[in-house]
Amino acid sequence: MNNAERRIIICAGTGCVANGSLKVYEEFKRILGEKNIPVTLEFKKEEHNHDGIRISKSGCQGFCQMGPLVTIMPQEILYTKVKPEDVNEIIDTTIIGAGIVDRLLYVEPATKKHCTGPNDIPFYQRQSRTVLKECGFIDPESIDEYMSHGGYEQANRAFTKLSAKDICDEISFSGLRGRGGGGFPTGKKWELTRVQPGPKKYVICNGDEGDPGAFMDRSVMEGNPHSVIEGVIIACKAIGADQSYIYVRAEYPLAVQRMRKAVQDAYERGILGKGVFGTVNKIDCEVMEGAGAFVCGEETALIASITGKRGMPSPKPPFPAQKGLWDKPTVINNVETLATVPLIMKNGAAAFKKIGTEKSPGTKTFALTGHVSNTGLIEVPFGATLREVVHNIGGGVTDDKGNITPEGFKAVQIGGPSGGCLTKEHLDLSLDFDSLRSVGAMVGSGGLVVMNHQTCMVQIARFFMQFTQNESCGKCVLCREGTQQMLALLDDIIEGRATGETLKLLETLAWAVQKGSLCGLGKTAPNPILSTMKNFRAEYEAHVFQKRCPTRRCKALCLPVIDAAKCKGCTACVKQCPVGAITGERKMPHVIDASKCIKCGACIKVCKFNAIGI
């Protein structure tokens, strides 16, 4: 094996950095130096010129929960939860020797099998990593490395060999649908913008990603920023734009930094700026930090934000394709959509269409979180089922202590605050734009939160409602006031004040907010309520009519009960109870009168014998 092939890749995505991966990186450099093992830190165009083992950082490798991750190439050994104190052993055993540090391998919980790398880890085996293929492998800060993998060849081809119409046709034929949530056909959007009159047009890359729990776009920007820029450049050629913006959430400092470096490097190589690819064309690109509001991801609000105005949506039509940034025709695409474009151009639309379903071709990244054994960033073809995602990739549903429970699956919340909750019945539903919409959910941004039987669905609806209520920009009365009122009604249910009228009112209000709001935030805000009310009606009714929370998560609905076997009759609870609900003789088991109890929990706190539970 020559040195050019030998490589140590340390994940430097946000998750692994937070767990200390940069210290692991520094430790590798330090100890390899001490042992006089030659090291190359920078990628050189000619691989055979590498005169040492290459150490590089990468973007997110997907398996964040097991981070910091270290991959040793070419054997593709994946070490998990690596600490600086493990580095010496890795070097002695795997770099100098040819062995494996067994204790740092991933152990599959169900079979206890020690897996050596992605090829035998079920989390990776069952995925189709296409957009994410190079995320977690290439150095995101090296334009040379991106180019050594064929990077910017498609942008070059777009400028030197293809017409704008050719590109729009290829993307239309591929059937690519926008990954930003709505699933609008990308080729159609480009074609609409291309045919608009006038010389000035814009391309905007939407990297706002404000959905709670989502980090797909962040990972692509951090892990392979040049793929996003290449998509932006191809979009510019396709519609005839010479100026582009990459709008990145300000809360993503690493993504902002890596996108900025990538843009600067692309300028230095003449890939951006004047005379791109030896033509007379000019393409400018600016990275802008978002304004920190979820609604700024909505395209008209985003346009307002770029122009320095408050990020508030405006009515459509006119659509941005007709009248967008500074009233000029503008294409707005999601990060993942744009990162997919160079792949389509490279492999051809026909190849792209072979993956996924007929109406939702290609793959989709999801942020898989919640009660599953393996959480992280995943990519599957459209048409994969929830069962495959939850059981095969996620490794099964876990209880609150993290142990796998075969009967544990209750629901999955898909698509973030715009999406809905699906149940066991939907485990074999095809994950694609249209199937999800038909059952009241959405692909949305790609958040996928798995929930076990200990989860209260009313509280889940409340969590998302609290988010949208906080994020409503306040322009529409129905969104501004309606989300507030829906939240108050959910509180009534959770706190035991609700009646049958509350449920009716909640449904009527949800319908009204959906109909009467201007933008997608308000229009989809009721989705988590409507889908949980539809799929978990009995759970709502138990809260409302029996004043009982079946999962015992809503404290106000959980009546304390004294366990007679444990009660010593010490009377401490009697003295503590503010409404005199507890009675009993000294040294005899006590009882709580349910009609008097106000469920304040004071007795539970005071009982030294752990005799009171809910």
Ligand X SMILES: Cc1cc2nc3c(=O)[nH]c(=O)nc-3n(C[C@H](O)[C@H](O)[C@H](O)COP(=O)(O)O)c2cc1C
Please report, as ranges, the residues that interact with ligand FES according to CB under 6 A.
Answer: 11, 13-16, 60-64, 67, 69
Nearest CA among 331, 361, 99, 363 for reference residue 204? 331
Reading the block at residue 230, the tokens are: 């290449």
In DSSP terms, 9 is beta-bridged to 56, 71
Q: Establish if 62 lies at the interface with ligand X (CB under 6 A).
A: no
Touching ligand SF4, residues 276-295 (CB under 6 A): 295
The entry of ligand FES, ligand SF4, ligand X, none that residue 404 binds, CB within 5 to 8 Å by partner kind: none
**Omega of the bond prior to 313 within 30 degrees of 0, cis?**
no
Residue 62 near which of ligand FES, ligand SF4, ligand X, none (CB within 5-8 Å, type-dependent): ligand FES
324: contact with ligand X by CB under 6 A:
no
Q: How far is it, in rounded angstroms, from Cα 496 to Cα 502? A: 11
Residues 105-134 that bind ligand SF4 (CB under 6 A): none
Residue 311 interacts with ligand SF4 (CB under 6 A)? no
Question: Residue 67 or residue 416: which is nearer to ligand FES going by CB?
Answer: 67
In the range 144-203, which residues lie near ligand X by CB under 6 A? Answer: 178-182, 184, 186
Would you say 498 and 544 are in contact if contact means Cβ atoms under 8 Å apart? yes
Q: Which of 284, 309, 229, 213 is nearest to 261 (CA)?
A: 229
Binding of ligand SF4 by 519 (CB under 6 A): yes
Residue 274 beta carbon to ligand SF4: minimum distance, rounded to whole angstroms: 39
**Residues 6 or more apart whose Cβ sits within 8 Å of residue 195:** none
Q: Which is nearer to ligand FES, 363 or 524 (CB)?
A: 363
Query: Does the protein bind ligand SF4 through residue 473 (CB under 6 A)?
Result: yes
String of DSSP letters for 398-441: B-TTS-B-TT-EEEEEESGGGSEEEEGGGTTSB-SHHHHHHTT-
Asked if 485 touches ligand SF4 (CB under 6 A), the answer is no
Residue 474: contacted member of ligand SF4, ligand X, ligand FES, none (CB under 5 to 8 Å, by partner type):
ligand SF4
User: Could you tell me the smallest distance in angstroms from the CB atom of residue 68 to ligand FES?
Assistant: 7
Return the residues of window 424-453 that contact ligand X according to CB under 6 A: none
Angle between helices 164-174 and 225-239 (to 10 degrees): 120
Contacts for 360 with CB less than 8 Å, ≥ 6 apart: 175, 177, 183, 382, 383, 432, 433, 434
> For residue 41, what are its two tokens?
């830190």
Please, what is the minimum distance in Å from the beta carbon of residue 18 to ligand FES?
Answer: 8
Query: Could you say which residues in the range 542-581 bind ligand SF4, by CB under 6 A?
Result: 562, 567-573
> Per DSSP, what are the bridge partners of residue 54?
7, 40
Partner touching 67 among ligand X, ligand FES, ligand SF4, none, CB below 5 to 8 Å by kind = ligand FES
Cβ nearer to ligand FES, comparing 155 with 377 = 377
- At 209, phi and psi to the nearest 5? 35, 70
Query: Is 208 an interacting residue with respect to ligand X (CB under 6 A)?
Result: yes
Distance, CA of 608 to CA of 456 (rounded, Å): 29
- Number of alpha carbons in the 13 Å side-chain half-sphere of residue 371: 22
Piece of 44-52, 137-145, 425-433, 515-523 that binds ligand SF4 (CB under 6 A): 515-523
Q: Rule CB under 6 A: is residue 514 a binding residue for ligand X?
A: no
Least distance CB 72 / ligand FES (angstroms): 15
Closest separation in Å from C-beta 441 to ligand SF4:
20
Residues 56 and 12: their CA atoms lie apart, in Å, by 9
Binding flag, residue 465, ligand SF4 (CB under 6 A): no
- Please, is 110 exposed, middle or buried when counting C-beta atoms within 10 Å of its C-beta (0-12, 13-18, 19+)? exposed
- Rule CB under 6 A: which residues touch ligand SF4? 295, 313, 472-476, 479-480, 517-519, 521-522, 562, 567-573, 590, 606-607, 609, 611-612
Q: Which residues bind ligand X (CB under 6 A)?
A: 178-182, 184, 186, 206, 208-210, 294-295, 297-299, 332-334, 337, 519-521
